[in-house]
Amino acid sequence: MADQKYDLVVIGSGPAGEAAAMSAAKKGMRVAVIEKRPAAGGNCTHKGTIPSKALRHAVKQLMRYNTQSVFRALGEPRRLTFPQVMRTVNKVINYQVEMHTAFYARNRVELIFGEARFRDAGTLEVLLPDGATETIAAEKFVIATGSRPYRPGDVDFSHPRIYDSDTILEMQHTPHSIMIYGAGVIGCEYASIFAGLGVKVDLINTRGSLLEFLDDEISDALSYHLRDMGVTVRHKEEYARVVPSDTGVIMEMQSGKRIHADALLWSNGRTGNTRGLGLENIGLEANHRGQLAVDEHYCTEVENIYAVGDVIGWPSLASASYDQGRAVAAAIAGRGHRIIEDAPTGIYTLPEISSVGKTESELTDAKVPYEVGRALFKHTARAQISGERVGMLKILFHIDTHEILGIHCFGAEAAEIVHIGQAIMKQPAPNNVIDYFVNTTFNYPTMAEAYRSAALDGLNRVMRL
């Protein structure tokens, strides 16, 4: 006999789990959330999005102090240690935990701390922190357990100089040099963060260019500016062996190279957190990356068990996970469904990157007649005032209909700026056209007026045809 019975039980309190629980509770369901950590927020709050972005912000502030002449009246350029910067990060994490915990109380969602395991398709066993076991039954379940860094078996992650993107936040020293294996979003973000702290960085990329899903021009800009910060970017390299010692780490490459650094950050892939859930007891099997397959309702092969967030793979964004959580609650309540597509990309490198829609390569391959409108941030008054002159905005649009097809932004506050273009791009025709930016008055000086400059640039190109 189950100790407790709910309409819905969500496993995991990250963005996807929290959104599913809150939305279901507002629809009148009795909901519980089970969280393995001793505090709410999931990996997003404790190890992923929040700490890395808070760390980036602190480093960006340090860089501005060290590079802008106005601050020289306060003293010479300074250096901060990694632990010093992390103290600021930990404050943000505490604020986030308090906020998310209050959400559950306010919406009368029971938050249970413990490790959940399926006994069968209608029952969970939860191992509580005190060692006791509680049995919980529900009509529906949502698996929102997130993901963790992938760890190959031949790399010794117990060594004090080898880190992954979770354990790097616990580093108690500032290395003189660091090697980052894996140049995906996480690897590029940490490369710019450590370079901003004055650490020598080797960024090892297994592919031919950085972040190949980006527009080529944006990828090239990222590569240039990382190198300008002192990052050594090595493309098309695969490791053969990792040899740690008391004084550093040597990575022997399949190409024959040997790269040495004080520390290694492994950021090559992630794995869904499905181990230990007892999936074998309900007839579910994760793929080789620990991820679960779902249908358009986010339902797994078991009709009353759903999955959302990083545990189902792409796009593995906190923003998309929130939307997936709300969508799965609507599907469970029988109020339709929504598969999250074309989510904007936010990459918090220094400078940051954001995009939504198609890239130039995709449009070229699809033989879509398009044109490009560009605006360089250095030509805007706001960027000149703020000192954030690096960056650009580009708008891709159809030559004939002027429909906006893609927005790509590189530079300060790119993840904010992109949403202006996204809002117009998502309007129904004929309101989703680039002409909007020419016919609208923007505040001056703002970064938003880059849209008008980019639109004029693009439309002038069309007029020359």
229: CATH: 3.50.50.60
β-bridge partners, 33:
10, 111
One domain, residues 421 and 410 = yes
453 among the known binding-site residues?
Answer: no
If asked whether residues 109 and 166 sit together in one domain, one would say no
Q: What pLDDT tens digit does each residue of the chain (465 aa) get?
A: 456 899 999 999 999 999 999 999 999 999 999 999 999 999 999 998 999 999 999 999 988 888 887 787 788 888 888 999 898 888 999 999 999 999 999 999 999 999 999 999 999 999 999 999 999 999 999 999 999 999 999 999 999 999 999 999 999 999 999 999 999 999 999 999 999 999 999 999 999 999 999 999 999 999 999 999 999 999 999 999 999 999 999 999 999 999 999 999 999 999 999 999 999 999 999 999 999 999 989 999 999 999 999 999 988 889 999 999 999 999 999 876 666 677 899 999 999 999 999 999 999 999 999 999 999 999 999 999 988 999 999 999 999 999 999 999 999 999 999 999 999 999 999 999 999 999 999 999 999 999 999 999 999 999 875
Strands (E) located in 231-352: 232-234, 239-244, 249-253, 258-261, 263-266, 270-272, 305-307, 345-347
76 assigned to a ligand binding site: no
Instruction: Tell me whether residue 342 is in a domain.
Output: no
Same domain, 204 and 111: no
Same-domain pairing of 262 and 388: no
Name every residue whose Cβ is closer than 8 Å to that of residue 389 and which is 6 or more positions away in sequence: 377, 378, 383
Looking at the structure, do residues 264 and 275 belong to the same domain, yes or no? no
- Domain membership of residue 344 (yes or no) is no
Strand 31-35 to 110-113 pairing: parallel
The backbone torsions φ and ψ at residue 284, rounded to the nearest 5 degrees and listed phi first, read -105, 150
CA distance 13 to 144: 7
Q: At a CB cut-off of 8 Å and minimum separation 6, what does 314 contact?
A: none
Do strands 391-398 and 370-376 pair parallel, antiparallel, or not at all (unpaired)?
antiparallel
Would you say 252 is a known binding-site residue? no
Annotated binding-site residue? 267: no
Taking alpha carbons only, the member of 65, 17, 75, 7 closest to residue 41 is 17
Q: What is the pTM of this model?
A: 0.93
C-alpha angle 430-435-440 in degrees, rounded to nearest 5: 110
Q: Is 64 annotated among the ligand-binding residues? A: no
C-alpha to C-alpha distance for 144 and 12, rounded to whole angstroms = 5
Please indicate if the annotation marks 36 as binding a ligand: yes
Report angle CA 211, 217, 223 to the nearest 5 degrees: 55
Please check if 38 is assigned to a binding site: yes
Say if residue 102 is in the same domain as residue 17. Answer: yes
Q: In angstroms, how far is the first alpha carbon of the chain from the final one?
A: 75
Two tokens, residue 413 = 């506050």
Which of 242, 268, 294 is the last residue before a domain boundary?
A: 268
Domain count of the fold of the chain: 3
Is residue 117 part of an annotated ligand binding site? Answer: no
Residue 81 lies in domain: 4-149+271-332
Residue type, 74: L
Residue 146 labeled ligand binder: yes
Q: Which two tokens stand for residue 41?
A: 């927020």
293 annotated as a binding-site residue: no
**Annotated binding residue 148:** no
